[in-house]
Chain A
Amino acid sequence: MSLVSVQGLFVVYEPQGALPVPAVRNVSFDLEQGDFVGLVGESGSGKSTLGFALTGLSKPPARVSAGSILFDGVDIAGMTPAQLRVQRHGGFAMVLQSGMNALNPVRSIRDHFFDIFTAHGHVSKRDREARAIELVGKVELPASVLDRFSGELSGGMRQRVSIALALSLEPRLMVFDEPTTALDVLVQHAVMDTIRELQKSEKFTAVLISHDLGMVLEVTERVMVMHDGLVVEDALAAEILAAPQHPYTRMLLSHYGDPRAAVVEVPGLAARGGDRATDVAVAAAGNAPVTVTGDTLDTLEPVAAPAAPPASTVRRREGRAAREAIVVTNVSKIYQRPSRGEEPVCAVNNVSFTLEPGASMALVGASGSGKSTIAKLITGVERPTSGSITFGDLQIDTIKRRQLKRLHTEVQMVFQDPYAALNPLHTVEYILTRPILNFSRLRGRDARARVLELLETVGLTPVEQFAARLPHQLSGGQRQRVVIARALASDPQVIIADEPVSMLDVSLRAGVLALLDSLRETWGVSMLYITHDLLSARLVTDQIMVLNSGAVVEEGRTADVLQNPQDEYTIRLLEAIPHPTVGGLVQS
């Protein structure tokens, strides 16, 4: 008999004062003891809802409305909380995405383990300490973490602790809900390895919920793809990789590529190889030293559009291509710790580069590498400790508040989180009208015409309808387009995009990236693209700088650096990317 048998499961959300929304529709599957199954889908596909239902954690307004979840022959869908609590010992456990924030900050890690031992009484008082040490050992942590508090541990360590806590009841089913999404790229890889090892050695049944099909294919044996509440494909990982049946699976798969390949292609974006006109142009200019502070404006013409531009709504802007370069010279930024005795943090260490007009440069690195700090320094939000940053005649490192507005007419920013970057109470039209009123002389009818033009530029049509919407009426991708439109409203020369697609679903990423790419090529804006995602960097940029703890470790043409990385850190970043199509098969 299967360990878990789900039959015709329906889960609905019944919010107060709104129509019920089905989140999981007619899902049936079986899990055998020791299976490692991936559950993949984009946001809103119902994958987490299903995970919560599997572990008896469905909370109002979610409700299991039909079907059964047999765990070891017992239906858990209809259990009371008290019955469920008993079931959890030797039953099922869940590790959450924010599991690392689930630790109580005023209690030591040891207390967390002892709480569980006390609640279930399955470990005698004498054995507690040994058992706790054994558990943290399983997730590759030293016994000394038991004395620590969650605030003293890094994100990866906290997530390991929460996995160990979930293990403490010897569950036969573990559900991992995006266990590594909130972690840094390099740490993600290590935690995922731990999970894989654990699953092999402990032989529990594991369900790995993730939006990242690449990672799931790499670590699991069987994959279920969810779309719109339905399981659209359920097959072995190798089968999905070799012959995906459902068009949705194929679409998801098509968005993976190897940034190291000679030619990288993703649907909706022009292929990036070594033979493109743009690459040649940049390569020619790129041979000159890039870090010099001298005025190299003449050496690089605004990048010419490719012979056959992709179908885009972006119109060429007349005579407004970027003219000035951002020149960063020997910039360092040191943050003083608020408490005495601690070493100051050097976020940016002696970085120099020039962002040529019309060029696109990627700034890549893991979190804490100082890439976002550089964005803050360039936009005048923070001031460097030493070094100089200039844009045209503006000295950004010592900029006055009054000049800041002038800087922002030319240098604009696209934010990482489209859900936080738009005021939830303002309509799209208001959001776009404000920079137009502040930065241009357009008023009234003209300003409105400009708003509609911007919306058309970013592909939000019909424009009249989108202008009247509030942010919550837009999807993530549409919001990010509004954020981009706002950045364009002042008609800037430079756009700084800080992880513009990291919060978006895979299928939406290509669209936003294509928009940014065509903006650069047809509008002639320069772009500084900040990311940890090397694939997207490869797709939209010509030059790349790799940052490690504030210092530049490698730079050059994107294609060259990624195909032929020299620095060990770059190689590690490249290896952390899941390669379902290439590396996954090699590794497994």
Chain B
Amino acid sequence: MTPTRTIIPPTSIVKTMSPGDHAGTANPLRVLWRAFATIWSVPKARIGVAMLGVFVLVAIFAPLLAPYAATDNSFGRSEDMSAAHWLGTTAAGQDVLSQLIYGARVSVFVGFVAGLLSTIIAVLIGLSWGYLRGFAGEVINFIVNLFLVIPALPLMIVIAAYLQNGGIGMIVLVVVITGWAWGARVLRSQTQSLRSRDFVTAAIFSGESPSRIVFREILPNMTSLIVGSFFGASTAAILAEAGLEFLGLGDSTTVSWGTMLFWAQNSNALLTGQWVLLFAPGLCISLLATSMSLINFGVDGLSNPRLREGAKR
């Protein structure tokens, strides 16, 4: 199975290589820690990590940060910005700032869960596809090409329309179904290039089984690519989630940036001069997506040291 690694606080990782240390493999935690340090060393990625961190913290501590409950509609309707309501209220009488803060939860959740799930599927399919030859490979090739060739948004709309108002779970499902193929294709080509390396042949000579070769010998050598494809998939998931909800295909009673846009559009917020209703969630969506993309600049440096910024002095 794919190891789904969790990030452990750095204190438990900083440990030097001692002669008596005979762990079976290079400690994955140390590898992750070094990866994080590399990403952090790239200024753009540092900004991305900070932005993402803010969004995650806001999502976690939303009940503490938000001035009101997100669904509390006891306020005046379509109010302008004021001291009580920094970003005004919606046409239904809810506090916009509170909605914005609670809305971060959905976007961050969908981003991480859908990104993670589609990355896992991409890893499983991409790696076995890259390692297999012959008929099985052709079958997978056909399926992946099918998913790549169908335009994603219409497919998403069709699937979402069938799974009427299923809520966040449905959106995650739709995003995962339409989002894994690209990553699988990238991971497959990397697997194909790694499988011809001597150490893979050597593993065959050591009597290793194919699954062990794929997941213990090849997979750890593409960590950076997998991390990169995770952030890519998360970005796509966040945008897709907002897009689906804006089109009214999600559950319009949940509070998220996408539904905020949906309701703002429905109540003609621009005509009433409440541009903040459209602007604020839109800005948040693009900032969250930007933070992921910025982190990917650092991930580039992981896989190819020459891309590390500042290397040119």
| Chain A residues engaging chain B, CB cutoff 8 angstroms | 14, 16-17, 60-61, 379, 381, 404-405, 408-409, 412-413, 415-417, 420-427, 429-430, 433-435, 438-439, 448, 462, 464-465, 467-468, 470, 473, 483, 486-487, 489-490
Contacts and interface: CB of A to CB of B under 8 A. Distances in A.
A60 B309 CA distance: 12
Given A423-B221, A424-B221, A470-B26, A438 B207 contact: yes
Nearest to B223: A425
Nearest to B221: A425
Contacts of B204: 381, 404, 408
Q: Which of A425, A433, A468 has the most CB of B within 10 A?
A: A425
Interface in B127-160: none
Closest 9 CB pairs of A and B: A438-B207, A435-B206, A421-B198, A420-B198, A423-B199, A465-B19, A425-B220, A430-B24, A425-B26
Contacts of A489: 206
A60 B311 contact: yes
B7 interface: no
Interface in B160-193: none
Given A17-B41, A408-B207, A468 B21 contact: yes
Interface centre among A17, A417, A468 (most CB of B within 10 A): A468
B310 interface: yes
Interface residues of B, number: 31
B22 A467 contact: yes
Contacts of A430: 24-25
A462 B22 CA distance: 14
B23 A427 contact: yes
A464 B20 CA distance: 7
Interface string B301-313: 0000000101111
Interface string B7-43: 0000000000111111111100001000000000100
B271 interface: no
B80 interface: no
B208 A426 contact: no
Contact of A405 (B26, B207, B310): B207
A438 B208 contact: yes
B77 to A, nearest CB: 57
Given A420-B197, A420-B199, A421-B198, A427 B208 contact: no
Contacts of B203: 423, 434
A58 to B, nearest CB: 12
A415 B202 contact: yes
B217 A423 contact: yes
A487 B206 CA distance: 8
Given A16-B310, A425-B221, A486-B206, A415 B198 contact: yes
A434 B25 CA distance: 11
A475 to B, nearest CB: 17
Contacts of B308: 16
Most buried by B among A60, A423, A429, A473: A423
Interface of B is mostly: loop
Given A467-B22, A470-B26, A486 B207 contact: no
B201 interface: yes
A430 B203 CA distance: 11
Given A423-B199, A423-B217, A412 B25 contact: no
B25 A439 contact: no
Contacts of B311: 16, 60-61
A422 B25 CA distance: 13
26 contacts: A60-B311, A60-B313, A379-B205, A408-B204, A408-B205, A413-B202, A416-B198, A417-B198, A420-B199, A421-B198, A421-B202, A425-B25, A426-B26, A427-B22, A427-B23, A429-B24, A434-B206, A438-B206, A439-B207, A464-B19, A467-B22, A470-B26, A473-B17, A483-B202, A486-B202, A490-B207
A473 B41 CA distance: 24
A351 B26 CA distance: 44
A462 B207 CA distance: 27
Contacts of A416: 198
A330 to B, nearest CB: 26
A415 B201 contact: yes
B236 to A, nearest CB: 29
Interface string B215-236: 0010011000000000000000
Contacts of A435: 205-207
B312 A468 contact: no
B17 A468 contact: yes
A448 to B, nearest CB: 8
A426 B205 contact: no
A462 B20 CA distance: 11
A413 B205 CA distance: 7
Contacts of B207: 405, 408-409, 434-435, 438-439, 490
A17 B311 CA distance: 11
A473 B202 CA distance: 20
A415 B206 CA distance: 13
Contacts of B312: 60
B79 to A, nearest CB: 53
